[in-house]
């Protein structure tokens, strides 16, 4: 997210959803309040049919605009093959193993640590896989805001690029339910 | 269709009454499991990890099975009493299979401690070490049996409807697109039922293939399947299934609401086009979940977002519009039934809107797998489907008295709305606060502020579930008294 900080993303989405909810509530209240007022059904129907085209094209146009804008924010494949540093990550029930550099070891033979240090303001490419079940490799900042995530799937190597712009301690959590100790599957990334 | 003979009508009534009571009992029990999970997350009572995940699995699998089965039962009842005769033995087959499957699931999950969640995401069911190995087999077989019964039930219903209305194309309303005058009018409930049940059929077939693969792996643990393929199948199945359950509710809304507003709900060309588009879109909306998988072709990720945005248009436009036209200036008497239908549609709209925002790839990256997912799922199922179901129950049990539970039912309804929205709101707040989903405890996160937020929202959630429970119990009491009153009148007649 180059021009929009992630912290705001959750809030923006929340505000948009709140706006949608308010529209729905307004329509429900309007229908209940006006239901007692009598009018000719046929004329009501014409009134609504008249607005339908506008409603349809209006919402279609709105969605197309949003689509276009939101696609500018695509998180994947932003600086593929141009990363400054590569980190290999293997999810195991129930721990994260990480090591700097690209590893050719098999996931179940991979040797890594639960903690890792990476440089600030460098493009980091995480190559993520799993040695058992599917996990999700999720990066949280120190305030507990989810910054990004990618599936860690056995037999597949998924890539996740991220640019840490602030120094500090980041927590890695598993976000794909992976069995008993799923809520305890945590790791740490130190950004120096 | 000629009106049903009294004997057959009675038989159909007995089936739906049995099914309704079973539904209410199972539904309340399954809500209670969810309640226990929230108590555990709220740290009000310590729940063993294995117990939490068993409850989570039974709550999820049980709810999806019970809600779809009962939605199907309602469509069965309305079809068999109004449109075409159905073989009641098949109705009972589906009913008893559901009971057997729920029994199997309960044994596998509560005794065998099977706990991979309702998604059964491959290869987790076979790689845990914490549940007894037979439990996976019992659960998989129970689900296969249930799926087969559903397949038979749906095929029978669609076959009879197609025969009654002149072919499958007519069920989809294609006769309205021709220039010729339509000979036999198609009730909108039939069209929406078809749009719901055909994708369900496809989902079940795909789901059955997946479960058979699981069964093979259970028999021969050396077997290995592609986890990406199975994840795609799981997502396709789960997404379609949830949409379809909701659309079943939308189907009977088209039939029952006009009885209250005294306005006909007609099929038009636009109606046919929009619902046929929905038919296709239901089947592809799951693409959004692929954003998480880097190895998926990029085009599918883009198309996932585009399709998701598009899928929001036809079904909502046509239904919201239809509902507004039904209610506006209708001079309707506001009993709980129209209230439930109106609020059910509102719940669907809110859930749908939240899901559309989430399907934007950049938002998805920070909302997926957080509590935002149970937030919109529960808005859909609890504040959408459940209200449609309760609306039907009040309609059915109060058909004779026509007081629809009176003021008592309304008190129950408002408790349910307040508790229900409070409950889902906590999920949304947790989602906005990045709280992960499917966490039995928040003590392992290592970020204190996050732990505290999650626990506080869970505690509030417990309070709201109690509210919701009270509402539900008041409504059950009201339904029960309406039922007894009707039965007493019947006997005295």
CA distance A181 to B463: 27
Cα gap A51→A39, rounded to integer Å:
18
State the angle between helix axes of A41-71 and B298-327 in degrees (0 to 180), rounded to the nearest 10: 160
A185 touches chain B (CB under 8 A): yes
Domain boundaries, chain B: 371-493
Identify which of B263, B332, B437 has the shortest CB distance to residue A41: B263
The residue assigned the tokens 């007995």 is B14
Cα–Cα distance for residue pair B135/B106, rounded to 1 Å: 10
How many angstroms separate the CA atoms of A80 and A100, rounded?
17
Would you give the end-to-end CA distance of chain B in angstroms?
A: 28
Q: Is the pLDDT of residue A2 over 50?
A: no
Distances (CA, A) of B56 to A8, B51, B113, B131, B288: 32, 8, 11, 14, 24
Q: What is the mean pLDDT of residues B438-464?
A: 95
Question: Global pTM?
Answer: 0.93
Q: Testing the interface with A: which of B379, B428, B436 to mutate, by most A Cβ within 10 A? A: B436
Report the SS3 class of residue A134: coil
Q: Which residue of B has its CA nearest to A141?
A: B447
* Distance of alpha carbon B202 from alpha carbon B451, whole angstroms: 42
A144 at the B interface (CB within 8 A)? Answer: yes
Q: Does B88 touch chain A (CB under 8 A)?
A: no
Name the minimum distance, in Å, from the CA of A142 to any CA of chain B: 7
Residue A177 has pLDDT above 60, yes or no: yes
CB B345 within 8 A of CB B320: yes
**Rounded Cα–Cα distance for residues B79 and B248 (Å):** 12
Share of chain B above pLDDT 70, in %: 94
Query: By the CB < 8 Å criterion, does B226 face chain A?
Result: yes
Higher pLDDT: B374 or B271? It is B374
CATH number for the domain whose boundaries are A85-191: 2.60.40.420
Crossing angle for the helix pair B406-432 and A6-34, to the nearest 10 degrees: 160
Rounded to 10 degrees, the C-alpha dihedral A175/A178/A181/A187 comes to -50
Helices then strands, counting H and E runs in chain A, come out as 2, 9
**Cβ-count burial A52-88 (b if 16+ within 10 Å, e if not):** eeeebeeeeeebeebbeebeebbbbeeeeeebeebbb
Distance of alpha carbon B196 from alpha carbon B215, whole angstroms = 28
Residues 146-205 of B with CB under 8 A from A: none
State the ipTM, two decimals: 0.90
Q: What is the per-residue pLDDT for B488? A: 84
Cα B412 off chain centre by: 21
Q: What is the pLDDT of residue B188?
A: 93
Count of all residues that appear for chain B in the document: 493
Q: Coil, strand, or helix at residue A23? A: helix
Provide the 10 A C-beta neighbour count for residue A4: 12
For B319, the closest chain A residue by CA position comes to A52
Q: How far apart are CA B124 and CA B136, in angstroms?
A: 10
Q: Please tell me the distance from the alpha carbon of residue B242 to that of residue B374, in angstroms, as a whole number.
A: 12
Q: What is the per-residue pLDDT across B285-321, written as a single tens digit (0 to 9) for each? A: 666 566 556 656 566 666 666 776 677 677 777 888 8
DSSP string, A18-48: HHHHHHHHHHHHHHHHHTTS---HHHHHHHH
Average confidence (pLDDT) over B180-189: 87
- B99 vs B165: CA distance, rounded Å: 32
Give the pLDDT of residue A144: 92
List pLDDT tens digits, range B85-99.
Answer: 999 999 999 999 999
Three-class secondary structure of residue A135 per DSSP: strand
Residue A1 has pLDDT above 50, yes or no: no
pLDDT score for A79: 47
The answer to whether residue A6 scores a pLDDT higher than 50 is no
Is the distance from CB of B404 to CB of B467 less than 8 angstroms?
Answer: no
Q: What angle do CA B5, B6, B11 make, to 5 degrees?
A: 100
Q: Is A180 within 8 Å of chain B by CB?
A: yes
Measure the CA–CA gap between A185 and A92, rounded to whole angstroms: 9
Contact A35 B321 (CB under 8 A): no
| Average pLDDT of chain B to the nearest whole number | 90
- Mutation site, A12, A173, A186, interface B, largest B CB count within 10 A: A173
Could you give the CA distance from residue A148 to residue B367 in angstroms, rounded to a whole number?
A: 9
Residues 86-105 on A with a CB inside 8 Å of B are 93
Cα A34 from Cα A43, distance rounded (Å): 15
Chain B residues whose beta carbon lies within 8 Å of the beta carbon of residue A186: 444-446
Establish if A153 touches chain B: CB-CB under 8 angstroms.
Answer: yes
Q: How many A-B residue pairs are in contact by the CB < 8 A criterion?
A: 236
Is A40 or A149 the better-scoring residue by pLDDT? A149
Out of B30-34, B85-89, B229-233, B439-443, pick the least confident: B229-233
pLDDT at A3 over 70: no
The pLDDT of residue A67: 66
A56 touches chain B (CB under 8 A): yes
pLDDT per residue as tens digits for the range B312-327: 677 777 888 888 888 8
**Spatial CA neighbour of A39 closest among A27, A29, A48:** A48
Tell me the average pLDDT across B72-89. Answer: 94
Six token digits for residue B382:
């609890």
The residue length of chain A stands at 192
What are the pLDDT digits (tens) for B387-423? Answer: 999 999 999 998 877 788 788 999 999 999 999 999 9
Judge contact between A97 and A152, C-beta under 8 A.
no
Instruction: Look at residue A50 and tell me whether its pLDDT is greater than 70.
Output: no
How far apart are the C-alpha atoms of B375 and B303, rounded to whole Å?
24
B386-397 vs B406-432: helix crossing angle, rounded to 10: 170
B222-B226-B231-B236 Cα dihedral, nearest 10 degrees: -110
Determine whether A7 is exposed, middle or buried from the number of CB atoms within 10 Å of its CB (0-12, 13-18, 19+): middle
Question: Is the CB of residue B184 less than 8 Å from the CB of residue B162?
Answer: no
> Would you call B439 and A63 a contact, using CB atoms and an 8 Å cutoff?
no
Distance from C-alpha of A47 to C-alpha of A40, rounded to nearest angstrom? 11
Q: Closest Cα of chain B to A86: distance in Å?
A: 16
Q: What is the rounded radius of gyration, in angstroms, for the C-alpha atoms of chain A?
A: 24
Is the CB of A186 less than 8 angstroms away from the CB of B331? no
- Which helix or strand (DSSP H or E) is residue A99 part of? strand A95-100
d(C-alpha B327, C-alpha B342), whole Å: 9
Contact A153 B227 (CB under 8 A): yes
Q: What is the pLDDT of residue B451?
A: 95
B299 touches A at CB < 8 Å:
no
Check CB contact of A19 with chain B, cutoff 8 Å. no
Task: With CA atoms as reference, report the closest residue to B120 among B98, B137, B107.
Answer: B137
Query: Between these two residues, B123 and A41, which has the higher pLDDT value?
Result: B123
pLDDT of residue A65: 77
Q: In angstroms, rounded to a whole number, what is the distance separating the alpha carbons of residues B38 and B437?
A: 12
Cα(B413)–Cα(B344) distance, integer angstroms: 12
Distance CA B493, CA B481 (A): 18
Give the closest of B328, B357, B362 to A44, CB-based: B328
Which pLDDT score is estimated for A12?
85
Test mutation, B230, B288, B364, B444, chain A, max A CBs within 10 A: B444
Q: Rounded to whole angstroms, how far apart are CA atoms B325 and A42?
A: 10
pLDDT digit string (tens) for B190-206?
A: 999 999 999 999 999 99
Beta-carbon contacts of residue A134 (< 8 Å; ≥ 6 apart)? A151, A152, A153, A154, A176, A178, B121, B122, B124, B227, B231
Question: What is the band of B113 on the pLDDT scale with cuts at 50, 70, 90?
Answer: very high
Q: Compute the average pLDDT of residues B99-106.
A: 95
- In whole angstroms, what is the distance from residue B105 CA to residue B112 CA? 10
By C-alpha distance, the chain A residue nearest B370 is A175
């Amino acid at each position: 997210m180059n021009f929009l900080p992630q912290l705001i993303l959750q809030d923006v989405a929340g505000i948009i959803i709140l706006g949608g909810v308010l529209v729905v509530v307004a329509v429900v209240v309007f229908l209940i309040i006006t239901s007692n007022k009598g009018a000719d059904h046929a004329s009501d129907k014409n009134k609504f049919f008249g607005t339908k085209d506008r409603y349809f094209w209006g919402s279609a146009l709105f969605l197309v605009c949003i689509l276009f804008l939101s696609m500018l924010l695509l998180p994947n494949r932003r600086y593929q093959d141009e990363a400054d540093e590569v980190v290999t990550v293997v999810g195991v029930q129930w721990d994260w193993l990480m090591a700097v550099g690209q590893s050719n070891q098999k996931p179940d033979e991979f040797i890594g640590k639960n903690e890792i240090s990476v440089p600030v303001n460098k493009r980091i490419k995480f190559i993520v896989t799993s040695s058992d079940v599917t996990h999700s490799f999720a990066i949280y900042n120190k305030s507990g805001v989810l910054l990004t995530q990618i599936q860690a799937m056995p037999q597949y190597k998924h890539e996740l690029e991220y640019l840490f712009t602030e120094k500090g301690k980041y927590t890695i959590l598993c976000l794909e339910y992976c069995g008993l100790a799923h809520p305890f599957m945590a790791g740490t990334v130190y950004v120096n | 269709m000629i009106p049903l003979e009294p004997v057959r009508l009675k038989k159909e009534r007995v089936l739906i009454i049995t099914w309704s009571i079973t539904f209410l009992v199972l539904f309340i029990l399954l809500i209670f499991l969810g309640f226990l999970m929230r108590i555990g997350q709220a740290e009000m009572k310590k729940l063993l990890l294995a117990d939490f995940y068993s409850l989570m699995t039974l709550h999820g699998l049980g709810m999806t099975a019970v809600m779809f089965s009962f939605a199907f039962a309602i469509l069965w009842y309305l079809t068999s009493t109004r449109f075409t005769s159905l073989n009641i033995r098949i109705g009972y087959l589906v009913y008893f299979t559901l009971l057997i499957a729920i029994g199997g699931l309960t044994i596998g999950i509560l005794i065998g401690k099977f706990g991979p969640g309702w998604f059964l995401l491959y290869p987790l069911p076979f790689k845990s070490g914490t549940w007894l190995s037979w439990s996976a087999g019992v659960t998989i077989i129970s689900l296969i049996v249930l799926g087969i019964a559903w397949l038979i039930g749906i095929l029978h219903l669609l076959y009879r409807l197609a025969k009654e209305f002149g072919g499958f194309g007519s069920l989809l309303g294609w006769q309205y697109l021709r220039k010729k005058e339509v000979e036999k009018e198609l009730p909108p409930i039939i069209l929406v039922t078809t749009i719901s049940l055909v994708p369900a059929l496809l989902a079940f077939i795909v789901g059955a293939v997946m479960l058979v693969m699981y069964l093979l792996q259970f028999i021969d643990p050396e077997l290995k399947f592609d986890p990406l393929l199975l994840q795609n199948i799981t997502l396709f199945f789960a997404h379609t299934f949830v949409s379809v359950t909701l659309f079943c509710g939308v189907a009977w809304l088209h039939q029952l609401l006009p009885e209250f507003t005294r306005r006909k709900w007609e099929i038009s060309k636009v109606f046919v086009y929009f619902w046929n588009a929905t038919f296709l879109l239901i089947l592809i909306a799951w693409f959004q979940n692929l954003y998480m998988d880097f190895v998926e072709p990029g085009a599918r990720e883009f198309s996932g977002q585009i399709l998701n945005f598009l899928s929001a248009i036809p079904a909502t436009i046509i239904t919201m519009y239809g509902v507004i036209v039904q209610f506006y200036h209708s001079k309707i008497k506001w009993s709980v039934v129209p209230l439930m239908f109106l609020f059910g549609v509102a719940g669907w709209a809110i859930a749908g809107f939240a899901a559309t925002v989430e399907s934007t790839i950049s938002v998805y990256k920070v909302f997926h797998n957080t509590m935002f997912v149970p937030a919109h799922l529960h808005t859909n199922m609890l504040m959408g489907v459940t209200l449609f179901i309760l609306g039907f129950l009040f309609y059915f049990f109060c058909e004779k008295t026509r007081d629809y539970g009176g003021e008592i039912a309304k008190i129950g309804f408002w408790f349910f709305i307040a508790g229900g929205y409070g409950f889902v709101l906590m999920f949304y707040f947790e989602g906005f606060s990045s709280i992960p989903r499917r966490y039995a405890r928040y003590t392992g996160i290592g970020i204190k502020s996050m732990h505290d937020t999650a626990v506080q929202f869970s505690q509030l959630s417990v309070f709201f579930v109690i509210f919701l429970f009270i509402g539900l119990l008041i409504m059950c009491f009201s339904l029960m008294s309406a039922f007894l009153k009707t039965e007493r009148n019947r006997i005295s007649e």
